[in-house]
Amino acid sequence: MFAILIFLGTSFGWSQGVDPALQPPKGAKVAIVVFEDLQCPMCRTTAPLLKQAGKTYKIPLIIHDFPLPMHNWSFEAAVTAHYFDAHSKELGTEYRDYIYEHQVEITPQNLRSFSDKFAADHKVSLPFVIDPQGKLKAEVIAERDMGNKIGIHQTPTIYIVSDKPGGKPFVEVTDRTQLFQMIDAMER
């Protein structure tokens, strides 16, 4: 079944009615926006496809952390990912990939040792207390709240977004096999 859920009718203008979370970054015509949970098995299997689509189409892949309450270590992993993002977005992306690679081995008790190993392998210092002021935690909560505001209930939730002033500014990808076709359609 090739289900595509399309939001917002053409009567809405680009500048009104479209949440900023569902807009491409400045200078990009089209982008992929994903809300993901580092403990979600479907997110793990989808991440390489999204990365490949971004590279193939040379469009931004915007990742928002959306840790689900039933996952017992995903929030802490998201905070740690934001720590590495603060060093560089590339390092944060590599950490997310590393966590997905080891997802089935990770528990709340050993997440820190996986994070320590990643930091050591990348020659980055990982302090004992990663987020003493709570700034990174606040960033993760803000991303989760943003997802809640636009109605996210599951992960991964993937959108193809456009800077088009009319028409449909974003579509939700509900069938991953249609990702590339949906990007083609949005670019037209």
Question: Where are the chain's structural domains?
Answer: 4-187
Class of the CATH domain delimited by 4-187:
alpha beta
**Three-state DSSP state, 40:** coil
C-alpha distances out from residue 83 to 68, 76, 120, 153, 181, Å: 19, 11, 14, 25, 35
User: How many C-alpha atoms does 127 have within 13 Å on its Cβ side?
Assistant: 7
Tens place of pLDDT for every residue, the chain, 188 residues?
233 333 333 333 334 567 888 889 999 999 999 999 999 999 999 999 999 999 999 999 999 999 999 999 999 999 999 999 999 999 999 999 999 999 999 999 999 999 999 999 999 999 999 999 999 999 999 999 999 999 999 999 999 999 887 768 899 999 999 999 999 999 88
C-alpha 18/C-alpha 150 separation (Å) is 10
Counting other chains too, the contacts that 97-106 makes at CB distance below 8 Å and 24 or more residues apart are 97/47, 99/38, 100/38, 100/43, 100/44, 100/47, 103/38, 103/39, 103/41, 103/44, 106/39, 106/73, 106/77
Element holding 141 (H helix, E strand)? helix 135-149
C-alpha 102/C-alpha 82 separation (Å) is 18
Contact of 38 with 67, CB cutoff 8 Å: yes
Query: Tokens standing for 4?
Result: 């595509």
Question: What pTM, to 2 d.p., does this model score?
Answer: 0.87
